[in-house]
Chains A and B, each alone.
Chain A
């Protein structure tokens, strides 16, 4: 067996390795249980959870684009109550971190979901999706305004006993401004990026390919953008950053770790290769062993010419 140390820490949250399954791409874990040993994962981020069950957008909801896909699922989910009753008991038996991704349509709703998860065993952390529209401000996403993002973060922190990771939207002019505001509000970590807004048109019918018109772009197509944003954010915050965006193999994951991400999430790749997360864990281990690297920590933020402030 290997000696390489793959453990990482995201604030108070300890992960056995830096590879997590991304929200919305891994269901509630159970969907993949027949195919891979979930206990070997660093963690699972479950589908975005809201107070009430949500049925999502009308179909078509997905369309493939070059090296990626657009989705307009519409944050469909079972809702807090059913999650606690039907999904969590199964997740609790796993020996891996279970991170609950949450969202709301108002600051209060974020608080309410957080409060609903307070004190509940088997939840390792909360990841706050701030990419969804805020009904209070006419539908502008929470994550586009640093002040609003900070307010949501404070509201969640006020209502939870768990580590809080805030998931940033790339659909902003300056992601570092939001990152700094959220850090200041007290978040334990950041994850980025969520999907980039895009669209596709059917030239025969001259109509949008998604019923919702626009959707979120994910997959290898967004990787360079995500990597750059991670790098920019890592330079300006001290809290740990989780890199997300187009990671399909361990080489991709390494790029993010070298750029300074403490861990990574794998999303769309799970659809293509249900073993993607575990292949990445194995790949990271082998990369380190081959180079006699004792701990993955030696890789994190090791980008040459790095001007990032120390740990």
Chain B
């Protein structure tokens, strides 16, 4: 883990309000595992104050890692305006990443919106024709073109909420359609996206007893396990047991988390 002023190699829009940024850091590239994240300080002033967490979305060669981010507020707005050649303070790689599927398993990746970011890196690393990638968006304009990530061979399915591209409906319906049939016990699922989507994925995989790992988002202050701000409720017989997303996660086995009373 390092904390460095890191040079921006590129920072460009890849969809409306969605940017791909390449940053130069041999150390982060060398240490990064899919599912891990970095904390980036947007701007030099005390407002906005805290660093913002972003998943490592891809690595290019030995020196460049990418983040894929959506502009949702002030921090991401500032990031969208920084230009190549400038530097950003980057802390990482942080957290616990995905456990890779075994060679005889059939992986399904399920992405909701910008939740696709860590899953692109995971798909890059799994790098197998056996992988099925499902990406859901609200509208076709939001689709992040996968060609630039050299994900050769794998099956990529799209779903949109408004039916403007691919399957008309939530991406979880694509997953649901693929959960029975032959090879049931070899399936594994990896998911990242909005909470309602993850809840649905948790239900589906739980009902079919399919192993599933999800990457979670919470607000964070330190990213280091020091502030205890990023708590999520654990599945536990005792009440009030919490995990800390920055240290115990952001990737969790769905079974270890509390998904509400059901």
Identify the A interface with B (CB < 8 A): 24-27, 31-32, 34-35, 47, 55-56, 58-64, 66-69, 71, 73, 76, 219-220, 248, 268, 270-275
Q: B229: CB under 8 A from chain A?
A: yes
Q: B156: CB under 8 A from chain A?
A: no
Instruction: Please report whether the interface of chain A is mostly helix, strand, loop or mixed according to DSSP.
Output: loop
Q: Assess A76 versus B227: contact at CB under 8 Å? Given A67-B46, A274-B91, A275-B3.
A: no
The CA of A35 and the CA of B222, in the complex, are separated in Å by 13
In the complex, are the beta carbons of A25 and B227 less than 8 A apart?
yes
The CA of A56 and the CA of B243, in the complex, are separated in Å by 11
Q: Which residue of A lies closest to B232 (CB)?
A: A59
Identify the B interface with A (CB < 8 A): 1, 3, 41, 46-51, 89, 91, 218-222, 224-233, 240-242
In the complex, are the beta carbons of B231 and A272 less than 8 A apart?
no
In the complex, are the beta carbons of A67 and B49 less than 8 A apart?
yes
In the complex, are the beta carbons of A61 and B231 less than 8 A apart?
yes
- The distance from the CB of A180 to the nearest CB of chain B, in whole angstroms, is 33
In the complex, are the beta carbons of B49 and A219 less than 8 A apart?
yes
In the complex, are the beta carbons of B224 and A55 less than 8 A apart?
no
- The distance from the CB of B233 to the nearest CB of chain A, in whole angstroms, is 7
Chain A residues positioned under 8 Å from B229 (CB to CB): 61-62, 71, 73
8 example contacts (A-B, Cβ-Cβ < 8 A) are as follows A27-B227, A56-B231, A61-B219, A61-B229, A61-B230, A62-B230, A64-B48, A71-B227
In the complex, are the beta carbons of A60 and B219 less than 8 A apart?
yes
Q: Which 5 A-B pairs have the closest CB atoms?
A: A27-B226, A62-B229, A31-B226, A55-B240, A271-B221
Q: Assess A55 versus B51: contact at CB under 8 Å? Given A31-B225, A274-B224.
A: no
In the complex, are the beta carbons of A62 and B3 less than 8 A apart?
no
In the complex, are the beta carbons of B47 and A59 less than 8 A apart?
no
In the complex, are the beta carbons of A66 and B1 less than 8 A apart?
no
- The distance from the CB of A8 to the nearest CB of chain B, in whole angstroms, is 25
- The distance from the CB of B46 to the nearest CB of chain A, in whole angstroms, is 5
Q: Assess A55 versus B46: contact at CB under 8 Å? Given A27-B224, A27-B225, A275-B3.
A: no
Chain B residues positioned under 8 Å from A271 (CB to CB): 50-51, 221-222, 226-227
In the complex, are the beta carbons of B49 and A31 less than 8 A apart?
no
Chain A residues positioned under 8 Å from B219 (CB to CB): 60-64
The CA of A259 and the CA of B239, in the complex, are separated in Å by 46
Chain A residues positioned under 8 Å from B240 (CB to CB): 55-56, 58
In the complex, are the beta carbons of B242 and A55 less than 8 A apart?
yes
- Known A-B contacts: A73-B227, A274-B224. Give 19 more (CB < 8 A): A24-B227, A27-B227, A31-B226, A35-B1, A55-B242, A56-B242, A58-B240, A59-B218, A59-B231, A61-B228, A61-B230, A61-B231, A62-B219, A62-B221, A62-B230, A76-B231, A219-B49, A268-B221, A272-B50
Residue with the highest number of chain A CB atoms closer than 10 Å, among B47, B219, B229: B229
- The distance from the CB of B28 to the nearest CB of chain A, in whole angstroms, is 14
The CA of A161 and the CA of B46, in the complex, are separated in Å by 41
- The distance from the CB of A76 to the nearest CB of chain B, in whole angstroms, is 5
Q: Which residue of A lies closest to B245 (CB)?
A: A59
The CA of A132 and the CA of B189, in the complex, are separated in Å by 44
Q: Which residue of A lies closest to B74 (CB)?
A: A64
The CA of A66 and the CA of B222, in the complex, are separated in Å by 17
Q: Which residue of B lies closest to A77 (CB)?
A: B228
